[in-house]
């Protein structure tokens, strides 16, 4: 049964809705991917090298305390092999 108040111009069919929905989802996906890719290029950690450097730990003064933390005691100093240059 047809609704007498509804005209052909006012009908919003399912095909139009589906197209708008798909375009919206695709646009949101492309926008999100673009933002993530741009962010990874812009904020990649800068020029700081990610490798580690041996460094003496000045607040550890005894061999026993040094070795308890898994570090090495060399030349009366406690050395950490996994120290980061960005620290």
Domain boundaries, the chain: 53-84
- Tell me if 82 sits within 8 A of 75, measured CB to CB: no
Q: How far apart are CA 20 and CA 28, in angstroms?
A: 12
Six token digits for residue 38: 């741009």
Average pLDDT estimate for 34-40: 87
pLDDT score at 84? 63
Across residues 26-47, what is the average pLDDT?
A: 83
Model confidence pTM above 0.75: no
The pLDDT value recorded for residue 10 is 53
Strands (E), the chain: 52-56, 72-74, 77-84
């Amino acid at each position: 049964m047809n609704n007498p108040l509804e005209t052909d111009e006012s009908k919003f069919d399912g095909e139009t809705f589906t197209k708008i929905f798909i375009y919206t989802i695709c646009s949101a996906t492309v926008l999100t991917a673009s933002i993530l890719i741009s962010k990874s290029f812009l904020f990649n950690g800068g020029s700081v090298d990610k490798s580690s450097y041996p460094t003496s730990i000045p607040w550890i003064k005894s061999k026993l305390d040094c070795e308890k933390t898994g570090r090495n005691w060399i030349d009366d100093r406690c050395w950490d092999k996994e120290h980061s240059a960005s620290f």
